[in-house]
Chain A
Amino acid sequence: MIAQQLLNGIVVGGVYALFALGFNLVFGIQRILNLAHGAVFMAGAFTAWYTVVNGGPLWLGFLLAMALSGCLSVLIELVCFRRLRRTGDEEFGAIISSIGASLVIMTIAQRISGTRIVRFPFDTFPIQIYQVAGLRISLLQLFMAAAAFALVVVMAWFVYRTPWGRRIRAVTENARAAMLTGVNPNAVYRQTYFMAGALAGAAGVLVGLAFNSIHYMMGEPYLLFGFVIIILGGLGSIPGALLAALLFGMMQTLTIAFLPTGLTNAVIFLGLFLILLLRPHGLLGREEAGQLRGRR
């Protein structure tokens, strides 16, 4: 039973990782908390749903969701953050402007869906359950885990193994010095936001499939989860966010399975609180990462 819940937790955690990694990447590079990230996630779920109900295959919906969420994320950077950054005072301003963007996107989704919960058609994903060593795992869960794993691997490869990723890391560490080596940070920001949005969009589709429930507010709890995960993992740390997402997913499924409903969040957040008491900068965080930028 515990093993079963751990397995479920890993699947959920993988989806959380997709969501949180982009959130974290953006925070790492600009010290901006993009509170519209949940709305981008929701837009991805709606895009895939729209594609499927209009007769498109799921894989196409998945790709379109990633593309649209990626573009939406880039647009948010352009509209909400770019001008604000020139003031040098963007940390708090960005919170407000991204809440604004989030409200706009959610309102559009609310209008389109008529405030209804929409669902994928019944046969969108084949229902198949496998029994392995006493554990039950559905084809959908396998797909979620595989998709999350593949996307995380591709993202990590891009960030750590390609010249573009090298520029992302350089701008994250020291944007001024990166400019002196010929890096155009605006191009790097575009790539980063696209990647963050595309991952969130993918997470949105997976969550939409898993719970078969897509609605305009669905991103909001994930924003809180994302927030918890990047703090738990260590602000700006990619491996930290991965670890924290899996841990958070497992804590959640375990508490939901074994504790009364009213207690689950209390226990999860108590756990987080204890972890942060022991490791104030997160599991893999570095001391300086949590500080707001000193230079004006």
Chain B
Amino acid sequence: MLEVQDLAVSYRGIRALRGVSLNVAAGETVALIGPNGAGKSSLLNAISGLVAKAGGRVAFDGADITRASPWSVAARGLLQVPEGRQVFPGMSVQENLLLGTTALGARPATWGLDEVFAIFPILRERRAQLAGSLSGGQQQMLAIGRALMGGPRLLLLDEPSLGLAPLIVRQVFRALAGLKATGLTILLVEQNARQALAVSDRALVLEQGRIVRQGASADLAHDPAIIASYLGQDEAHAGGG
């Protein structure tokens, strides 16, 4: 469904991505893990058309979108939930969600307000409130809901657990597992490797702009090198469930 070939991104000559290739097949959930500054957001933003590509090619559903504008990428149903939520603070929860339907264009909606409220009931309660007054976790739910309103065929998620309390993180990942169960295709970027590996089918490890490992999530979760760098002994025991 998504094919990324040899993608490169530079910021004023400084390379952030050095030839990244990856595929996401329909129905899959793929996790991309890696440390801060590895280039994860750059990858998603290059796919979404927000940052210029220094090289490589991106295709979605067989169509070349390498040079497509961010809004036309979104209009194809390739929707990103950006790092740091980026909800519209001065608009109500409901308006944020309705704005999400912009990406639909002539495509039929796959998620309506009621469906989004069903997975995030707190948003229904707060629907008239300004998005800026929500907690971080609620804003994350809103950002995901907003993307769902755009009828995603592939959902790109950039560190949805960033800065959230552990309890809220678990809630968000439960929602992601629910989305996956509906058959939605997901590319999930995370630093929280444990949760990301638990929810995904496949995973890739990005370090310094390169993919350094990839494999089935279940295998990577038991890989000693991954455990050492990304999971950590203490945590590995603590978070069994």
Taken residue by residue from 142 to 185, chain A's Cβ proximity to chain B (1 for < 8 Å, 0 otherwise) reads as 00000000000000000000010011011001101111111111
Q: What is the chain A residue whose CB lies nearest that of B105?
A: A182
Q: When chains A and B are docked, how far (Å) is the Cα of A59 from the Cα of B102? A: 36
Minimum CB–CB distance for A82 against chain B, Å: 14
When the two chains form their complex, are residues B74 and A166 in contact, meaning their CB atoms are under 8 A apart?
A: no
Q: When chains A and B are docked, how far (Å) is the Cα of A246 from the Cα of B70? A: 41
Inter-chain contacts of B59 with A (CB < 8 A): none
Inter-chain contacts of A181 with B (CB < 8 A): 74, 79, 99-100, 102-103, 146-147, 150
Inter-chain contacts of A177 with B (CB < 8 A): 82, 86-88
Task: Give which listed residue, B99, B103, B150, contacts A170 with CB less than 8 A.
Answer: B99
When the two chains form their complex, are residues A169 and B150 in contact, meaning their CB atoms are under 8 A apart?
A: no
Taken residue by residue from 244 to 285, chain A's Cβ proximity to chain B (1 for < 8 Å, 0 otherwise) reads as 000000000000000000000000000000000000000000
A24-75 contacts to B (CB < 8 Å)? none
Minimum CB–CB distance for B80 against chain A, Å: 5
Q: When chains A and B are docked, how far (Å) is the Cα of A175 from the Cα of B159? A: 20
When the two chains form their complex, are residues B79 and A173 in contact, meaning their CB atoms are under 8 A apart?
A: no
When the two chains form their complex, are residues A166 and B95 in contact, meaning their CB atoms are under 8 A apart?
A: yes
Q: Given the interface contacts A166-B98, A170-B99, A184-B71, does A179 sit within 8 Å of B91 by beta carbon?
A: no
When the two chains form their complex, are residues A169 and B103 in contact, meaning their CB atoms are under 8 A apart?
A: no
B79-115 contacts to A (CB < 8 Å)? 79-80, 82, 86-91, 95, 98-100, 102-105
Inter-chain contacts of B161 with A (CB < 8 A): none
Taken residue by residue from 184 to 221, chain B's Cβ proximity to chain A (1 for < 8 Å, 0 otherwise) reads as 00000000000000000000000000000000000000
Inter-chain contacts of B75 with A (CB < 8 A): 182
B48 within 8 A of A: yes
Q: When chains A and B are docked, how far (Å) is the Cα of A166 from the Cα of B88? A: 10
Inter-chain contacts of A185 with B (CB < 8 A): 71
Inter-chain contacts of A163 with B (CB < 8 A): 98, 102
When the two chains form their complex, are residues B91 and A166 in contact, meaning their CB atoms are under 8 A apart?
A: yes
Question: Which A residues lie at the B interface, using CB under 8 A?
Answer: 163, 166-167, 169-170, 173-174, 176-185
Q: Which 3 A-B pairs have the closest CB atoms?
A: A182-B103, A182-B74, A179-B70
- Given A181-B100, A182-B103, A184-B71, 5 more A-B residue pairs with CB atoms under 8 Å apart are A173-B91, A180-B50, A180-B80, A181-B102, A181-B147
